[in-house]
Amino acid sequence: MTVVARTIAQLRAAVAELPGAVGLVPTMGALHDGHGQLVSLAAGENTSVVVSIFVNPLQFTDLGDCDDYRHYPRDLDKDVAFLESLDVDVVFAPAVEEMYPDGLPQVWVRAGEMGERLEGASRPGHFDGVTTVVAKLFHLVRPDRAYFGEKDAQQLAIIQRMVADLDFDLQIRPVPIIRGADGLAESSRNQHLTRQAREQALVLPRTLSALRERAAAGQPLDVEGARATLSAAAGVELDHLEVVDAATLLPVDEVGAGALAVAAIHVGGTRLIDNVRLLPPSA
Ligand code: PAF
């Protein structure tokens, strides 16, 4: 049976009853197959699974005083039914006042320079909001493992670094990107796309996969050409396309084990991100 905890006290009581290793899947709800994949992995590696559902205002523009936060898709009943069908043990779905009872926290976990590049350049403070809420969730649930999608490559790298820098006693488990049949990476934001916008958005996975194929064929990457393709695409506004090291997020010139092409675009008023690994021909 799935326990739904709305308060920290209820969460602590529910977690205290859980047997064996605990896997945590932090989410902001609007769950899709990508989240299902995180939960399946967590269920395979742990005795118990906790999923948090919390649309965290700290990681939005103006600390949530923005349309993106107000219009972020929320449907708790549907999400809980989905998680019940996956046999999740505990769902933690707190109100904002439960997580931040005194309004904004005084003490934050700062993502540092890693949080200022790429996504962070367009969304100042975003990753400070993410690290602060994830640190709270780690303290509240005390999981043995926590699961994060590779689609949010920068978030994953920053959280791995936070765990190392602040000595959190848990394992971070990255989970590969889930794509729709058309190639678009699964995201809660895809719900905002009209059919036409979704069609236009496909230039993102196609451009990234062309880069991956060039890398695998040993051809020069032509990142500028890829940027030009995205900039010229109908209905699309390019935010960034960079090749970086997956762990440090610093730019790299060569393809190799850690090289990642990361990109963000706006389409139909929705911001989408995606990435692919760039491996050389021998890999
Ligand atoms: O990736 C997300 O959904 C959020 O950034 C997270 C990790 C749940 C923190 O609010």
170 and 204 share a domain? no
Helix, strand, coil: what percent of the chain each, to 5?
40, 20, 35
As annotated, the active-site residues are: 35
pLDDT of residue 105: 96
The pLDDT assigned to 188 comes to 87
- Ligand 1 atom nearest the C-alpha of 55 is 10
At 254 the pLDDT is: 81
- Which residue among 52, 74, 134 has the greatest number of ligand 1 atoms within 8 angstroms of its CB, and so is best to mutate? 134
Average pLDDT of every residue of the chain: 96
The reply to whether 144 and 204 lie within a common domain is no
In a domain, 218, yes or no: yes
Residue range 254-274: mean pLDDT, rounded: 93
Residue 283 within any structural domain of the chain: no
pLDDT digits (tens, 9 = 90+) for 165-202: 999 999 999 999 999 999 999 998 899 999 999 999 99
What is the value of pTM for the model shown? 0.95
Where does a domain end: 154, 175, 196? 175
Q: What is the pLDDT of residues 200-216, one digit of tens each?
A: 999 999 999 999 999 99
* Cβ of 154 less than 6 Å from ligand 1: no
Residues 6+ apart with CB under 8 A from 173: 23, 41, 42, 45, 145, 146, 147, 148
Q: What is the CATH number of the domain that holds 148?
A: 3.40.50.620
Is residue 281 situated within a structural domain?
A: no
How many domains, the chain? 2
- pLDDT per residue as tens digits for the range 9-44: 999 999 999 999 999 999 999 999 899 999 999 999
Same domain, 155 and 200: no
> Residues 57, 148: one domain?
yes
26 lines ligand 1 (CB under 6 A): yes
Residues 37 and 149 in one domain: yes
pLDDT of 76 > 90? The answer is yes
If pLDDT is split at 50, 70 and 90, which confidence band does 283 have?
A: low
Torsion sign over Cα 194, 242, 32, 257: positive
Which helix (DSSP H) or strand (DSSP E) does residue 270 occupy? strand 270-277
Same-domain pairing of 265 and 197 = yes
CA angle, residues 174, 177, 179, in degrees to nearest 5: 165
Confidence of residue 83 (pLDDT cuts 50, 70, 90): very high
**Domain co-membership, 221 together with 243:** yes
The whole domain housing 200 covers: 188-276
